[in-house]
Amino acid sequence: MTAQTKKRGAGESGNGGIATALAGFVSNNEDLGPIVRHSFESGKPEALFHNLRGIAKRKEVEIEELCRLHYEEFILAVDELRGVLVDADGLKAALSGENLRLQEVASALLLKLDELLELYAANKNLGEALATLKIILQITSLCQVCNRDIAGGKFHTALKTLELIEKDYLQNIPLKPLKNVVQKQIPMMKLYIEKKVSGEFNEWLVYIRKFAMEIGQASIRQASLDRQKDEGMRARQREAEECSRVGFDEHAYALDVEYIDEESTLEFDLTPVYRAYNIHICLGLGEKFREYYCSNRLMQLNLDMQISTAQPFLESHQHFLAQVAGFFIVEDRVLRTAEGLLSESQVETMWEASISKVTTILEEQFTRMDAANHHLLVKDYVSLLAATMKKYGYQATSLLEVLEKNRGRYHELLVSDCRKQIQAVFAKDSYERMVIKKENEYNMNVTALQLEPIQVVPDLPYVAPFSSSVPGVCRIVRSFIEDLVSYLSYGVMMNSYDVVKRYLDKLLIEVLNDGLLKSIHSGSLEIAQLVQIAGNIATLERSCDTFLMHAAQLCGLPKRLLEKPHSGLTARAVLKASQNAAFNGLITLANSKIDEFMLLLTSINWTAEEAPEHANDYMNEVLIYLDMVVSTAQPVLPREILFKVVSGALSHISDSIITVILSDRVKRFNVNAVAGIDIDLRLLEEFAEDRFHSTGLSDLRKQTSFKDCLVEIRQLTNLLLSNQPESFMNSAIREKNYGSLDQKKVAIICDKFRDAPDSLFGSLSSRNMVQNARKKSLDVLKRRLKDFS
């Protein structure tokens, strides 16, 4: 009894120890294996299970408590977040309302400010008018003394007479009433003379404002002629440089008298200005007249700076800019000839203010224009304005800077126009080789675009290697280059070739190449169309050098600089990659079309009673299609690509036949069906061998011919028709005659193959002995293939 009690106490203490150890192991994430092993070894797993259940229950309670605590915090966080969202929406609405109220208040204040400025200007004008009227009222009596001189328009003489009266006679007049009358009449006569010359000057102001536009137009037209002369001179200089690289040209230094001409300018009359200014100086009012002249001319300038809203800026920009040019050409003449009337600082201040307003107007109008040709028209006239004003000593850099800032916008519009034009060209193209029947058509579509290296017109009709979209695209690209060079010329940038090259690369890659890729991947093209697209890309790739040469010529870059390495376009490599994509698409399209014909392969009789005498229908369709592919691709594609397309199609045919035989659609087949496949292969091999030589691919001396692409199905057919098929397991014979065959595929095919057709009287055939021998050999092959697998 004592021993049993001690044993039971030890067991209970052991269970308590297991519970403690188990709890420690679980809390420390340690391995429970030793405790479990000990429990089972001691024969008391129930205590272990009891403790594990207890731990599990405690953990479940802890998990539930933890989930409850975090769930409440999550709900509080969500509620707080929703409150924040509501506050954010309220703050957003408040900010929006404040913004609207601020805009309303600011708009009203701006209107009030404009009204205040107008009142200030009107007040100034009224003050000057009142001062002038006061002077005019004093001058009316002076005309009675100098009536004869004034009637004859000799105002300077009349003023000399009045001066003589004032100095020599006025103080000596004995009669005070007469003295008083003369004293009153002299200021009045001076005022009359001032009024008279001021009237003539005002008439001149009206005349010169109307005539300023013609002055500006004539000067800008002269700047255009000077630019054409410079361009012609540079063109002849480049031609002479190119000739000097080849040899001396006797015409390179000939004098062209056509360009020896004096500069034509439009004359205008400044006599009223000179006369009014001299009279006012004699009257001691020179400063007043200077102010009067500046204020009136400034008002005229402000009127000239207001563009018309009744017509588009594209129609009015020439009149607007010519008016500004005419105004400052007149001011330049006045500054140089009417000494003291204007100062250089005054003219410079007016010019800076005006050019700032002009640049603001141009920036605003450029942002509104949505056509690249509109930008170009305005740009050309602005650059001519800058050249004209620079000739008269004005700083016009800000005008050119506006054009430079607008270059990105112009390029976007120009690329957009080109994208639409190129898309239209691609949409109209049927992707058939272009047939040119007339010489003028050849010159327009080939020679002018330099699409052929030989400039001699070939025999007509001429079948071009490209379709109608290629000349259209080339014209669009050349027009893009010309418009871009035209925009960049005579601007801030001296060397525009690098910019043109970068933009040309962007056009060819992002517009032309993307359009070609969309056509290639559209999935709606026939094989002939895809072949023609590949040929078109080859022509366009070669034209990249022509485009670059055209850009260099327009930018005045010598040809020798283009001969340096790394001077070509990146687009050429991109187009080459797109051409490879077209080739891959061509191969995929050809194989997919062949797959349609190969579907007929499953409909043939695989267990025919007799061997067929002719090829199966699917093979006739395949041969017709392959002949069409070769005849279409041969004149357009390079021979390497032609080989790749045709060899890929033949390999695909071979793989397709084997795939059909391996598939579940063919449960079994006999030797007659194999004989039919053999007839199909002979026709296909004959076609492959003929086209390999007729297309000139044999001259490439490739290690693989078209016929070699059919080697797998040929070896399989030979094996199935062999009298000793078991020889396949001979490694030497297999390497020599069946090296392309896979043993696993052969095993599957042999399981389906029946040497003789299923016939009730098949055993009575005269070929029974041969068939039995072949069948035995085939059975041996099947067993050995199974053993091998």
Instruction: Give the model confidence (pLDDT) of 268-287 as tens digits.
Output: 788 888 888 888 888 888 88
517 vs 577: CA distance, rounded Å: 10
Tokens 């599957």 -> residue: 748
Q: At what angle do helices 271-282 and 286-304 cross, to 10 degrees?
A: 150
Q: Taking the alpha carbons of 260, 266, 272, 277 in that order, is the dihedral positive or negative?
A: negative
Q: Evaluate whether 559 touches 552 at the Cβ level (below 8 Å).
A: yes
pLDDT above 60: residue 124: yes
What number of other Cβ atoms are within 10 A of residue 623's Cβ? Answer: 17
CB burial of 329-348 (b: ≥16 within 10 Å; e: otherwise) equals: bbbbebbeebeebbeeebbe
Instruction: Give the model confidence (pLDDT) of 177-196 as tens digits.
Output: 656 666 777 778 778 888 88
546 vs 551: CA distance, rounded Å: 9
78 vs 71: CA distance, rounded Å: 11
pLDDT of res. 183: 73
Residue type, 494: M
Share of the chain above pLDDT 90, in %: 1
Q: Evaluate whether 314 touches 378 at the Cβ level (below 8 Å).
A: yes
pLDDT of res. 250: 45
Q: Quick one: DSSP state of residue 172?
A: T
Structure tokens given for 759: 């016939």
Residue 120 confidence class, pLDDT cut points 50, 70, 90 = very high
Residues ≥6 apart with Cβ < 8 Å to 274: 337, 338
Task: Look at 303-312, 352-361, 430-439, 766-775 and tell me which has the smallest mean pLDDT.
Answer: 766-775
Mark out the alpha helices in 599-638 (DSSP H runs): 617-633
* Average pLDDT of the residues in 131-141: 45
* Average pLDDT of the residues in 316-321: 86
pLDDT, the chain, mean:
79
Q: Quick one: DSSP state of residue 263?
A: P
Quote the strand ranges of 170-260, DSSP E.
Answer: none
Does residue 634 sit in helix, strand or coil?
Answer: coil
Structure tokens given for 247: 């040899």
616 vs 622: CA distance, rounded Å: 10
179 vs 160: CA distance, rounded Å: 19
Q: Evaluate whether 604 touches 620 at the Cβ level (below 8 Å).
A: no
Q: Evaluate whether 507 touches 477 at the Cβ level (below 8 Å).
A: yes
pLDDT of res. 119: 92
465 vs 708: CA distance, rounded Å: 30
- 544: nearest Cα among 586, 520, 576: 576
- 292: nearest Cα among 189, 392, 195, 209: 195
Residue type, 124: K
pLDDT of res. 170: 60
Tokens 């800058």 -> residue: 386
* Pairing outcome for strands 462-463 and 753-754: unpaired
Residue, of 63 and 124, whose pLDDT is higher: 124
Structure tokens given for 337: 């000839």
Does residue 668 sit in helix, strand or coil?
Answer: coil
Q: Evaluate whether 436 touches 445 at the Cβ level (below 8 Å).
A: yes
* Average pLDDT of the residues in 491-500: 73
- 329: nearest Cα among 380, 262, 266: 266
Residues ≥6 apart with Cβ < 8 Å to 126: none
The kind and range of the H/E element at 753 are: strand 753-754
Q: Quick one: DSSP state of residue 451?
A: -
Residue 506 CB-density burial (10 A; 0-12 exposed, 13-18 middle, 19+ buried): middle
292 vs 554: CA distance, rounded Å: 50
Most confident range (mean pLDDT) of 145-154, 419-428, 666-675 is: 419-428
Residue, of 452 and 242, whose pLDDT is higher: 452
Structure tokens given for 242: 């190119």
331 phi and psi angles, rounded to 5 deg: -65, -35
Instruction: Give the model confidence (pLDDT) of 22-34 as tens digits.
Output: 777 777 777 777 7
pLDDT of res. 455: 65
695 phi and psi angles, rounded to 5 deg: -85, -5
Most confident range (mean pLDDT) of 7-21, 70-84, 344-358, 604-618 is: 344-358
Quote the strand ranges of 394-487, DSSP E.
Answer: 435-436, 462-463
17 vs 468: CA distance, rounded Å: 95
pLDDT of res. 146: 63
* Pairing outcome for strands 669-670 and 753-754: parallel
The kind and range of the H/E element at 483 are: helix 469-488
* Average pLDDT of the residues in 140-163: 66
Instruction: Say what the pTM is.
Output: 0.65
Residue 235 confidence class, pLDDT cut points 50, 70, 90 = low
Quote the strand ranges of 564-714, DSSP E.
Answer: 669-670
* Average pLDDT of the residues in 431-447: 84
Q: What CA–CA distances, in Å, run from 160 to 168, 197, 278, 600?
A: 12, 16, 13, 121
pLDDT of res. 552: 83
Angle (nearest 5°) at CA 296 between 147 and 318: 125
Tokens 């900010």 -> residue: 95
190 vs 141: CA distance, rounded Å: 9
pLDDT of res. 575: 86
